[in-house]
Amino acid sequence: METRSQALLGNFFDLLLDAVCTVDATGRFVYASAACERIFGYTPAEMIGRQMIDLVAPEDRARTLQAATEIMSGQPKLHFENRYVRKDGQIVHVMWTARWSEPDRLRIAVARDVTELKKAQALQSALYAISEAAHAADDLAALLELIHQTISGLLPATNFFVAMVDEGSGGLDFPYCVDECAPGDIPARDDPAVRALCMEIIVSEQPLLLPPGSIGALSEHLGAADDTPMPCWLGVPLVSDKGAIGALVLKSCPGSPHYTAGDRDLLHFVSTQIATAVERLQMRARLQQMAQYDDLTGLPNRALLRDRLDTALASARRDKGRIALLYLDLDRFKEINDTLGHAAGDELLQAVAHRMKHCVRDADTVARIGGDEFVVLLPNTQLPEHAELVATKIHEAIARPVEIAGCTLRILPSIGIALYPEHGEDGPQLLQRADEAMYAAKQRTVATLVQT
């Protein structure tokens, strides 16, 4: 009768959707119900006799052993969660209810598969994190690094590439690329296979899953030669209202779990939020560019110059340092505009800006503040002679002939210099003094021409 009751009880356990198992004091499975196969991928017969800890994900083993010790000391666990590695290599999240039976010297536990719940929670957190990253990141590379970290919480994403379509050329740029199993010394951004995959995803605007050994011209191009193990590829387009703006690609190295159709659908879902975050950051960058830089020459404008000048002055006051300002405009520029047209004048301004930038240090600022007027900020100028040397260098660079609208032009600048602290204590005073010095230089040039 007792044997029949035990068999009946076992049948009942096998009908449960949650798994029931017992583990002895040495950590080996003694009993496993039928649901274990659905959750862990192993049949009950395969589990019995195996060490429980061998099935636990390596990252969770230490705290799982700690929980087992506490249970065996008489502390039941109601909602303990950890991760197991299924027989197929996939990760499963399990919630345990467990207690110790001292007479039987067994841990008796009920396991519930909460993988889908965990995925839903992780997805919700990921979408929020991606949205927040668009506000927190300073540039595209920083944003994509944050997105990489977020995606790694959803999928294996050690190898992570983002390709963006260059709006000007239509080619591909790789603002972010991490590849720990690149073949040879070829980075992913330079690998024709990776570029072909990204372009295929962008043109088709469809996700692409390529398991190792996939059939097809593209996958053959991406596969390894001979008997070398081939990676698994997963890519999704980054689609905005303007169409595909880029592609996000993951690569699973040989020996790692392969991506699945579920992984593809998950990443495709998240890609919409990623594209929105990227566009938001790009828009912010464009607005900042418009607010701080001259549209014609790409130089800092008056507002950005003022900000950098205030910063340089604060540093100079603190360190008892010196700075110099050069105020410059182009002699007879209006005549060129009137004679050759504004397009030629714009081209000349661009040429002047280019030459001036090559005459200063990286720490210096060349700004266009309007018309043909430029200002050069030289922080950490030790001697007045240093500013004069830069002014001479700029004068000689601008004076070189330039081809504009089929004409060879030679234009000269007038340059005024103001020094801190000799000529002013703040930005407006220094700018006014440099402007006055420039005007005086221009008057001397005019007087020289009249005498000639």
Of 38-47, 249-258, 259-268, which gets the smallest average pLDDT? 249-258
**Residue 307: strand, helix, or coil:** helix
Please state whether the peptide bond connecting residue 421 to the residue before it is cis, i.e. omega within 30 degrees of 0: yes
Note whether 356 and 374 are within 8 A (CB). Answer: yes
- Domain contains 71: yes
Please tell me the predicted confidence (pLDDT) of residue 184.
Answer: 58
Q: Check whether 1 has a pLDDT greater than 60.
A: no
Residue 153 and residue 445: Cα distance in Å, rounded?
68
Among 268, 292, 316, which residue terminates a domain?
292
- Biggest alpha carbon distance in the chain? 129
Please tell me the predicted confidence (pLDDT) of residue 167.
Answer: 76
Please tell me the predicted confidence (pLDDT) of residue 215.
Answer: 38
Q: Check whether 411 has a pLDDT greater than 70.
A: yes
| Residue 145 CA, distance from chain mean position | 4
Please tell me the predicted confidence (pLDDT) of residue 7.
Answer: 55
Residues 157-187 have pLDDT tens digits of 889 999 999 877 778 999 999 887 766 566 6
CATH number, domain of 151, equals 3.30.450.40
Rounded to 5 degrees, what are φ and ψ at 42? -100, 145
Q: Check whether 316 has a pLDDT greater than 80.
A: yes
Work out the mean pLDDT of the chain and round it to a whole number.
87
CATH number, domain of 41, equals 3.30.450.20
Please tell me the predicted confidence (pLDDT) of residue 3.
Answer: 55
Which has the higher per-residue pLDDT, 190 or 429?
429
- The tokens describing 224, both together, are 């390894």
- Domain contains 347: yes
- Domain contains 297: no
pLDDT band at residue 254 using 50, 70 and 90 as cut-offs:
confident
* One domain, residues 275 and 158: yes
* One domain, residues 405 and 385: yes
Average pLDDT, integer, range 424-435: 94
Average pLDDT, integer, range 27-32: 95
Residue 146 and residue 137: Cα distance in Å, rounded?
8
Average pLDDT, integer, range 413-430: 94
DSSP state of 231: P
Q: Check whether 449 has a pLDDT greater than 60.
A: no
Please tell me the predicted confidence (pLDDT) of residue 222.
Answer: 54
**Phi-psi map region of 2: left, alpha, beta (phi>0 left; psi -120 to 50 alpha):** alpha
* One domain, residues 348 and 245: no
Residues 80-89 have pLDDT tens digits of 999 999 999 8
Q: Check whether 289 has a pLDDT greater than 60.
A: yes
Residues 215-249 have pLDDT tens digits of 344 545 554 443 445 678 999 999 988 889 999 99
Residue 56 and residue 53: Cα distance in Å, rounded?
5
Alpha helices in 293-383 (DSSP H): 302-319, 333-340, 342-357
Residues 372-404 have pLDDT tens digits of 999 999 998 888 899 999 999 999 999 999 998
* One domain, residues 149 and 169: yes
Please tell me the predicted confidence (pLDDT) of residue 406.
Answer: 84
* One domain, residues 406 and 274: no
Please tell me the predicted confidence (pLDDT) of residue 231.
Answer: 78
Among 113, 140, 157, which residue terminates a domain?
113
* One domain, residues 199 and 77: no
CA nearest neighbour of 234 among 151, 350, 300, 344: 151
* One domain, residues 71 and 156: no
* One domain, residues 109 and 122: no
Residue 56 and residue 60: Cα distance in Å, rounded?
7
Write out the residue range of the structural domain in which residue 23 sits. 2-113
The number of folded domains in the chain is 3
Q: Check whether 18 has a pLDDT greater than 90.
A: yes
> How many CB atoms lie under 10 A from the CB of residue 233?
26
* One domain, residues 127 and 270: yes
CATH number, domain of 389, equals 3.30.70.270
Please tell me the predicted confidence (pLDDT) of residue 435.
Answer: 95
Q: How far is CA 357 from CA 105, 296, 393, 408, in A?
A: 80, 15, 11, 22
Note whether 21 and 36 are within 8 A (CB). Answer: yes
As a whole-number percent, the residues of the chain with pLDDT over 70 amount to: 90
Among 65, 96, 113, which residue terminates a domain?
113
Residue 249 and residue 208: Cα distance in Å, rounded?
9
Residue 330 and residue 2: Cα distance in Å, rounded?
107
- For residues 140-149, one letter each, b for 16 or more C-beta atoms within 10 angstroms of the residue's C-beta and e for the rest, the string is beebbbbbbe
* One domain, residues 199 and 276: yes
Please tell me the predicted confidence (pLDDT) of residue 187.
Answer: 67
One-character DSSP codes across 103-137 = TTTEEEEEEEE-HHHHHHHHHHHHHHHHHHHHHH-
Residue 125 and residue 150: Cα distance in Å, rounded?
9
